[in-house]
Structure 1
Amino acid sequence: MSDPTRVSAPDGVAPAAAYSHVVTATGRFVAVSGQLPLDEAGEIVGEGDAAAQARQVFENLRRCLAAADATFDDVVKLTYFVTDMAHMPAIRAARTAHLPADRLPAASAVQVAALVRPEFLMEIEAFAVVGA
């Protein structure tokens, strides 16, 4: 893949502090379904603990990306579905462990009334572009 171009402050748009407004890349598209805080056995990790759930979700994203021969370097878009926006600092901390501040993808955060099970605090999906 050509190195993605990230634009955090397009002309006339307020600068983004924790994401890129625009990311462009050329290559093979990879869509990773929303990942939940479940371990390999399907058991919840970190019930009631946003930081533990975020770490597990990002580990699941890493594993899914690897299954597509991709890494977090290839991620161009993340979408966060959270039951409470108060969980975003924990999500950002987990994201920082995988994505350096100078390589942030485009992102959207959506607060939802509920996820598929009430103990889930978040679900995160990823789009990536891998070398042509």
Structure 2
Amino acid sequence: MPSKIDLLNPASLSPPTGYSHVAIVKAERQIHVSGQVAYDAMGKVVGEGDIAAQAEQVYANLAAALAAAGTDFTKVFKLVTYVVDLSTEKAVAVRKVRMKYLGDGPFPASTMVGVTALVDPRLLIEIEAIAALD
């Protein structure tokens, strides 16, 4: 079956590190996952003060949301990551967890944005995803 997602990295753009510059989606249905934060199933914050622990919980939440929709990270074509007080160190910690879930690629189109705060002051990261269902 041909792929519903073509991920491109034009030579005229900088070499990407763990993402693709362009996602062409031919799916008829998409899944839009609301921004996930580091709340566990009971609504408790996981990893207060620890960006890596929070990223792990967020990616686990994304995996659960995708599974509920009948898919997984292989069908994700866009991720947007919001990090409170973004720094190089925080970006590296988030990317390390991200690679655990995304594997060796291909990688979705992605954006990482530094923000001043999220809805709960204990939260350090929020990630939203868009995936192709069919």
What's the offset of the Cα at 1:76? 0.1
Gaps of 5+ in 1: none
Amino acid at match of 1:74: K
SS in 2 for 1:98: helix
Gaps of 5+ in 2: none
Structure-to-structure mapping, 1:74-93, within 5 angstroms: 74-86=75-87, 87-93=90-96
2:16 alignment counterpart: 16
1:59 alignment counterpart: 60
TM-score by length of 2: 0.91
What's the offset of the Cα at 1:104? 0.7
1:43 alignment counterpart: 44
TM-score by length of 1: 0.92
Contact 1:2 1:26 in 2 (8 A): no
Contact 2:78 2:108 in 1 (8 A): yes
Aligned positions, number: 130
Aligned residues: CA RMSD: 1.3
Structure-to-structure mapping, 1:21-36, within 5 angstroms: 21-27=21-27, 28-36=29-37
SS in 1 for 2:105: helix
Contact 2:18 2:105 in 1 (8 A): no
What's the offset of the Cα at 1:16? 1.2
| Deviant stretches of 4+, over 6 Å | none
Please give the alpha-carbon distance, in whole angstroms, between the structure 2 residues aligned to 1:63 and 1:2: 26
Please give the alpha-carbon distance, in whole angstroms, between the structure 2 residues aligned to 1:84 and 1:6: 30
What's the offset of the Cα at 1:2? 4.2
2:73 alignment counterpart: 72
Deviations 1:70-129 (A, max 9, x none): 100000000000112232112111111111233110001111111001110010000001
What's the offset of the Cα at 1:12? 2.1
Contact 1:33 1:126 in 2 (8 A): yes
What's the offset of the Cα at 1:14? 1.6
SS in 2 for 1:103: coil
Deviations 1:31-80 (A, max 9, x none): 00000001000000000011100000000000001111110000000000
1:95 alignment counterpart: 98
Contact 1:6 1:103 in 2 (8 A): yes
Percent identity, aligned pairs only, is 42
